[in-house]
Structure 1
Amino acid sequence: MKLSKSLFISVFMFSLVGCSLFGKEEEIVQVSPSPTVNNQFSIQQVWRNSTAGNTHIYSLLGPINYDNAVYVASRSGQVKAVDLSNGHTIWDKNLSQSTLFSSKTALFSGGVSADDKYVYIGSERAVVYALDRNDGNVIWEKPVRGEVLARPVSSADKLIIHTANGNLQALNRNTGADEWDVMLEVPPLSLRGNSTPTIAHGAAIFGDDTGHVNAYYINNGQLIWQQRISQPSGSTEIAKLNDVDSTPIIEGNLAYAIGYNGNVVALDLSNGQIVWRKEMGSTHSFVVDSQQLFVVDQNDNVRAVSKNGGTILWTQAGLLHRQLTDPVIYENYIVVGDFEGYLYWLDKDNGEIVAKTQVSSSGLISKPLVVDNKIVVQAKNGDIYAFTKK
């Protein structure tokens, strides 16, 4: 059973003391108000475009960039290529199925990814699509082993799919033909989300729902190593959740990862052994610079963590429980969005919030995209914006 993150948020962030879904009393958790910020610089909207969004559905669909084009999708089935420079639509395809008697939306959920030939997207209907990157025509569509909640990832001639039921599957990226698949353990209860694999040195490195980071050869699906970074604990079902839903980051011979109710860790890429660990939980992917990891933890603290041993360098606690997006680095700032549609700029050196703007009252969930001097965000209602700092 996958526990919807929207249900998870409502249970733990807006509930009163009383009998919970899991048989325990819940603590009152206060959502921090959006802080007042005297902007230290102006934020200019460069362009705006839109897809058919749905403000009532929890979806991490967000923009991706390849070769001066931004690719976006809506849950219903719209896939769009947008010119990065001016926001004009390059092509627009709708993959929902409509007949005279019925309509069947695509239920896209697996994020958009792109390479030199194709745009890929997965769905809750357990189908993956490959579209021609130049015109959006469907090259192939393929039923896979389960719901696709993570972005498909291409490498060489393969497309790696991580499904919600714990399957890691490789398809031929040109035809969609099966190459290999591996079935992973899935606990009875987990968060609704999956780790997007990172490809490095011929391996797919990703987290799973049992608290492990795994490395598999993409050539044949053989396991290289597996390391636990999050251990079940506590007396409630929620306390026992230990999903690793973040996307690992690979630098040199280290793999950085974080788990829910777990740790942020640096792993030896060659064998998976833990180099250092720091107790800190999150479902978010994080970003790095030359010296630090920037993490949004499971309470929406934004933290800077030293790459050298995991020391916490600063914490920004002014955005608690505001359902932040994954963080991104923009110039010398960390940028995150929140459920009320605000976008915040934090000073990378000390965590101070130095600017904010409200993008859309529908809210922000998906990770912003930073490319060239622009930051591109997709709101829950489907609108896509590009901003720049002035």
Structure 2
Amino acid sequence: MKEMLKKALAIAICAGVLAGCAGEEDTIIMAPVPQVDSEFSPKTLWSASVGDGVSNYYSKLTPAYAYGKVFVASRDGEVKALDPETGKLIWEQDVEEEVSARLSGGLTAGYSQIFIGSENGQVLALNEETGELNWRVDVDGEVLSAPATDNNLVIVHTDKGSLLALDQQDGTQKWTISTEVPNLTLRGSSSPVTMSGGVFWGTANGRLAAAIVERGQLIWQQPIGLPQGATEIDRLVDVDASPLVLGGTLYIIGFNGQLTAIDLRSGKPVWKRNYSSATNIASDARRLFIVTEKDHLVAFDARSGTELWSNDKLEHRLVTAPAVIDGYVVVGDSEGYLYWLDPSSGEFVAKQEVDSSGFAVPPVVVPGGYVLTTRDGDVKKLTINE
């Protein structure tokens, strides 16, 4: 179960959800690649690679840009720092020991280090300048999402429902908070987010939790989804998305749950909308963009929660979480296409075929363009502005 392919899991989950209201003959059909009259053709500035990438595993190893470098990693333990202008190698480190590294959560930059989690229940800290392994510690459960950093702590969320705070200097555990994990959950966990002395994260039992960073004191939990239905699959309510903070409002979404805006000062909902997703929310400050469990792209007004548009042309294409790049909404799919959408209308403005291995994570903005990683380990920097 731990090494289930992403595609198989996604199809199984979709099939399970549909089974509650449909017959046995229903199948999940991937939408065809849409025809797009591209208004621009992105230009490749450089190409590199990082091991064998993440292959078909769940691993969410999003590239990180920090300290004037681009950091990338592969599931089998290869970590690299690249020059963002040229793509040339600055350093590389192989953190694999006697068994597969199984890197799966990260990359997060902070305190002059790079932090990565693994399916083996470990958190690693590498020196950002040299790649030297500063420390490696065991934690309670798999680390499937990126850690957060705040108050000289590295905050990690595991699949066992534990939120752990580790000392950034040596990995010593400072505090832990445990939340309930149902018998059946989605493959994934919410990356914690810190703000104004608080840490916020989604839980497998359908809640958004908040705690005080300094001492790990749980202060409130807000329900995002309530289990409903006859089967365990019907009752999945995981909140795997990372909270998104805009000003004084936090936004979160859950699987079989709701897109919810929460006032940070009171912890109370501002508005709720019935949408289901297990991926992160993107924003251009005025609008929110999500990918639903059916791979529909939907935009909302951030202040009111009003739906602005919906695009269903990528249904069941196993698309990544959305990103906002150069004023466009961007997602990648399982067959290696990037799609660029107008944030005002949701119409496609460009389509880019990159690599047939597909994408596990969306592109990341860097100076002069954006960096993407494919499932087979290709790393590319591209630009739409020549």
Coarse TM-score class (shorter-chain normalised): over 0.9
Structure 1: which 5+ residue stretches go unaligned?
98-102
Q: Is the 8 A contact 1:3 1:191 kept in 2?
A: no
User: 1:24, CA displacement in angstroms?
Assistant: 7.5
User: Which residue in 1 is equivalent to 2:275?
Assistant: 280
Per the alignment, residue 114 of structure 1 pairs with: 109
1:147-178, Cα deviation, whole Å (9 max, x unpaired): 11111111131110101100010010011111
Tell me whether 1:27 sits opposite 2:21 in the alignment.
no
Quote how far apart the aligned CAs of 1:8 are: 2.5
State the partner residue of 2:163. Answer: 168
Query: Is 1:290 matched up with 2:289?
Result: no
Q: Deviations over 1:50-89 (max 9, x none)?
A: 1112423232212111032111111111111111111111
Partner of 1:100: none
Q: Contact 2:198–2:212 (CA<8 Å) still a contact in 1?
A: yes
- 1:41 aligns to what? 40
Alignment pair present for 1:130 and 2:125: yes
Q: Is the 8 A contact 2:14 2:293 kept in 1?
A: no
Residues 268 and 295 of structure 1: CA distance in aligned 2, closer, same or farther (over 3 Å)? same
Query: Structure 1 pair 276/3, CA: closer, same or farther in 2 (3 Å)?
Result: farther
The 1-side partners of 2:224 and 2:14 are apart by 25
Q: Deviations over 1:277-336 (max 9, x none)?
A: 010000010111232101111111111111122111011111111111111111220010
Give deviations 1:196-219, integer Å, cap 9, x for gaps.
011001111010001100111111
Aligned to 2:68: 68
**2:9 matched to which residue of 1?**
8
Q: Aligned pair 1:335/2:330, yes or no?
A: yes
The AA in structure 1 aligned to 2:39 is: Q
Cα 1:24–1:164 change in 2 (3 A) is: farther
How far, CA to CA, are the matches of 2:55 and 2:15 in structure 1? 19
CA contact (8 A) 1:13 1:31 kept: no
Deviation at 1:26, TM superposition (A): 6.3
Correspondence for 2:249? 254
The residue number in structure 1 matching 2:349 is 354
Distance 1:151 1:12 in 2: 23
The separation in 1 between residues aligned to 2:215 and 2:257, in whole angstroms, is 30
Q: Write the distance in 2 (CA, Å) between the matches of 1:59 and 1:291.
A: 31
Residue 86 of structure 1: SS of its match in structure 2?
coil
- Tell me the equivalent position of 2:204: 209
One-letter identity of the residue aligned with 1:155: D
- Cα distance change on mapping 1:241 and 1:216 into 2, 3 Å: same
Q: Which residue number in structure 2 is paired with residue 90 of structure 1?
A: 90
TM-score, normalisation: structure 2: 0.94
Distance 1:307 1:84, change over 3 A: same
What is the percent sequence identity of the aligned residues? 39
After superposition, residues 50-61 of structure 1 pair within 5 angstroms as 50-52=49-51, 53-61=53-61
| Cα deviation code 1:208-246 (max 9, x no counterpart) | 001100111111110111100111112232221000000
Helix, strand or coil for the counterpart of 2:154?
A: strand
Whole-angstrom distance in 1 between the partners of 2:249 and 2:359: 31
Q: CA RMSD of the aligned region, Å?
A: 2.0
CA distance in 1, matches of 2:13, 2:222: 29
The one-letter code sitting in structure 2 at the alignment partner of 1:35 is P
Q: Structure 1, residues 98-141: CA drift from partner, whole Å, max 9, x if none?
A: xxxxx412110112111241011011111111110000001111
Q: Contact 1:2–1:191 at 8 Å: present in 2 too?
A: no
Residue 237 of structure 2 contacts residue 254 of structure 2 at CA under 8 Å; is this kept in 1? yes
Distance 1:321 1:37 in 2: 18
Is 1:384 the counterpart of 2:379? The answer is yes
The alignment of Structure 1 onto Structure 2 pairs a total of residues equal to 381
The one-letter amino acid of 2:271's match is: W
CA distance in 2, matches of 1:204, 1:25: 43
Does structure 1 retain, via aligned residues, the 8 Å contact 2:257–2:276? yes
The verdict on how the C-alpha distance between 1:26 and 1:93 changes in structure 2, with shifts beyond 3 A counting, is farther
| Structure 2 residue 310 is the aligned partner of structure 1 residue 311 | no
